Structures are given as structure tokens and as C-alpha cells.
Structure 1
Amino acid sequence: MARAAKPEGRITRGTTGVNRLRRVDRWIAALPALRTADDPLVVDLGYGASATTSNELHERLSAVRADVEVLGIEIDPERVRVASAAARPGVSFRLGGFEVPTDAGRRPAIIRAMNVLRQYEEAEVADAWARMTARLAPGGQLVEGTCNEVGRVGSWVTLDADGPRTFTISLRVAELEEPSIVAERLPKALIHRNVEGERIHELLVDLDRAWATHAPLGVYGPVQRWQATVASVRDGGWPVLDTPPLGGRGRWRLGELSLPWSAVAPAP
């Protein structure tokens, strides 16, 4: 019998927690790639030390696709064993890495890879993206990014087979001091680019400035202040997504801001 191929990647810290990925789950639930998929298989790549986030992902996506299946993939055999013991109906777990192994040649409609590449080098990102997107079903998407331990500050890139398409910031705006707090939780492709001369740095500077300008709106609540902030950077020339399902005030109310990847892509 041929030996199974070694999973691609490295074991990461495995930090996880209840509701940590709720923000990105709401984003995935809105993606047409999920809602219109012929086979709504969603891969949770690098789910961590327990089944928690994979089970939560299935629960949230079931609201828009009752037939969704979630496959958690981890490179650590012990994590697979622990998660499998806690799997719910519609959720399963297996050993693997960036090669994204599935049964019967199935290709996922969505791959979620949160807090995985953060622990790699920037030079490794492009190859990891290419490896994962090559496994997607036609029209499928990869969502890759980072968030803090309690899920209140995060950002991610959404990619398809042709590469990165959009960049999203998602913040809990209650008690938010400055939007640039997300600098600590940028995707690996951007986290070292928050310096003068890079577009991501310019975006965060403009967001902080607009947030300060609209401080008086705080008396009506942080959501109103955030919506005004996003509208200001859009009116200032940033190509903010402002139409549903991935943009507009409905998304802004969630503390989100999304733009085409080209608006923040690293300088050559």
C-alpha cells in the first residue's frame, strides 16, 4: 500500500476560542460562492486545538445553506483526534495541510484559513495561496486572514482561482479608539507593509483621520460614527465596496470595510 502523502505546512499554535471567528463567518455566509454552490463543501483549514470554530462555522452557514458540509483539516494528528470526538452532524475532520485533501475528488466551494499564515513568513504566502486556490471548485473562494483572540479585531483577503479579489477590515466599533488597531491583525501579506509608501498604511491613516473627524457622531452611537467614517474614505477616493451583498451600509453596520485587493496590494 502506498504511504499517504505528508501534509503540507507546519504545526501552528492552535489557539482557538468560542465565537472567535464570528466576524469572518458572517462574511462567508454572504458570499455568492457559498450560496450558489452545487456542492456546498466548506473547508476550515487549520481550525486549531478543538472543534469549536468548525462547529460554529457549520451552525452559521446552515442558516443560508441547510445542506452545507464543513470539513476541518489540521496538520496535527492529535488535534484531529480531539476534534473528531466533538464533531456534530454535517461536520467532519481529517489530517492535512495546504494540499486540502478531500474524499472522492470533491472540491470545496469555500476554504477558510484564519490565523494560519500569520505564523509563516511573508515570502511563503503566495505559494500557500496558490496551493489552496488550486483546490477550489469552479467559482470557489478562499478566505485567509487574522483576528485577535476574542474576535473583535480582524481582517482578511478573499481570493479565487485568479488570485486575491478583496480585502476586508472588521472591527467591534463599540469602545474603538482608532481603526488602525487592525494593523496588529493584518493578513501576513500586508502586516509588514504598514509603512509609509504602502497603500495599506495610507488607508489606515485615512481611516484614523476620518474616525477622529466624526467623533461628534459618537453621541448617536459608534455604528453611526463608523458608517460616516467609511463613507468619508469612500468619498475621499478609496474604492470602498458600497453595494450588497459584500458592501453597503448593511455591511458597514457590522463594523466592516471592504475594498478591491488592488487598492491595498503591496508595492512591488
Structure 2
Amino acid sequence: MLRQYPEADVAPAWARLCARLAPDGLLVEGTCDEIGRRHVWVALGPEGPRTVTFAARLATLDAPSDLAERLPKALIHRNVPGEPVHAFLRDFDRAWAAASPYGALGARQRWIRAAQALSADWPLADDPRRRRQGELTVHWHALAPRGATASN
């Protein structure tokens, strides 16, 4: 929803939207490719961003970093060396490569194994059962842009 805005407008927009949420409310802000194979979204609560979820139709995925083009506006321009989201996608690609032997059992098994490897260094927030569906969720604070405030 915020892809056509300058990055500087994201934090104020999120703050306005989150201020209108019910105490237990949740807003999902993200994007997908044109045919729904690749998705990345941020889950926002009244307090601001909580998590970032990466999701893919695994049979069409060459590498997890292919999801970078679907990063929400708050992260898409931060996929550069020195930024956490860049380090995460680099590590995800490495874990994906290391899990390549599991590809013989299917892309799902490879994704699950790569996620297990990532969990040693990154704070994953998802239920491991969601990984079978091609999803992986990371706590926002781990991927937040350098110098970002709590609501950005």
C-alpha cells in the first residue's frame, strides 16, 4: 500500500494507521508479485511494527533473496550492505545453498532446513508449521533499518 510513497513517509503513515487500531488490532502492510508467488509483509500492532514475513511459492524460488524486490517501502531501499535486511537475505541465501541436498526431497524441505539454520542467528517469530507453507517470519527489530525509531 505504501510502495508509491517516499520512504520518509512510511513512519508517519504507519503511526497514523496504528493509532487507529484496536488494542488487539493488527495491520498487514506489504506487497506481492503480480501472480502471487512472492510476498513480503510487515505486521503492525498499535505499538508499531512487530514482524516481517517472507513467503513464496517454493517451487518457483531460485533463492530467498529473490524476495527482495517485494520488500515493503520501509525496507526496500535498505537492502544494501550494512543494513540488517541485507544481512538477513545474505544469510538466508547461504542457508538455502547449504540446504541444497534437501532439495532432492522437495523445495519445502529445503526451505524448512534453511529456516532451521537461520534460527541460530536470527530471531524468527513464526510457528515452524508455517514454514511448511513457504513462510518465514522475523521480529521487526532484527531487520529494522539502522537508526530507525521504534515506529519505523
Q: TM-score, normalised by structure 2?
A: 0.93
Identity %: 54
Stretches of structure 2 that go unaligned for 5 or more consecutive residues are: 148-152
Cα shift at 1:154: 0.9
Residue 177 (structure 1) aligns with: 62
Where 1:174 maps in the other structure, the secondary structure is helix
Residue 114 (structure 2) aligns with: 229
Distance 1:260 1:216 in 2: 28
Distance 1:134 1:188 in 2: 20
Residue type matched to 1:240 in 2? L
Aligned equivalent of 2:17, options 132, 147, 165: 132
User: How big is each residue's C-alpha offset from its partner over 1:121-169, in whole Å with a ceiling of 9 and x where there is no partner?
Assistant: 1000011111111211121111101111111111111111111111111
Cα shift at 1:248: 2.7
Residue 240 (structure 1) aligns with: 124
Stretches of structure 1 that go unaligned for 5 or more consecutive residues are: 1-115, 242-246
Q: TM-score, normalised by structure 1?
A: 0.54
Distance 1:121 1:147 in 2: 19
Cα pair 2:41 2:72 within 8 Å, conserved: yes
Where 2:115 maps in the other structure, the secondary structure is helix
Greater C-alpha Rg: 1
User: How big is each residue's C-alpha offset from its partner over 1:191-239, in whole Å with a ceiling of 9 and x where there is no partner?
Assistant: 000000000000000011111111111111110000000000112x111
Residue 150 (structure 2) aligns with: none
Residue 43 (structure 2) aligns with: 158
Distance 2:139 2:104 in 1: 32
Residue 250 (structure 1) aligns with: 129
Deviating beyond 3 angstroms after TM superposition, the runs of 4 or more aligned structure 1 residues are: none
Cα shift at 1:176: 1.3
Residue type matched to 1:257 in 2? L
| Higher RCO structure (Cα 8 Å, ≥6 apart) | 2
- Superposed, 1:8-19 pairs within 5 Å as none
Structure whose residues are more often helix by fraction: 2
Residue type matched to 1:200 in 2? V
Distance 2:122 2:88 in 1: 8
Cα shift at 1:175: 3.1
Cα pair 2:64 2:89 within 8 Å, conserved: yes
Residue 262 (structure 1) aligns with: 141
Residue type matched to 1:248 in 2? D
Residue type matched to 1:123 in 2? A
Where 2:60 maps in the other structure, the secondary structure is coil
Count of aligned pairs? 147
Where 1:117 maps in the other structure, the secondary structure is coil
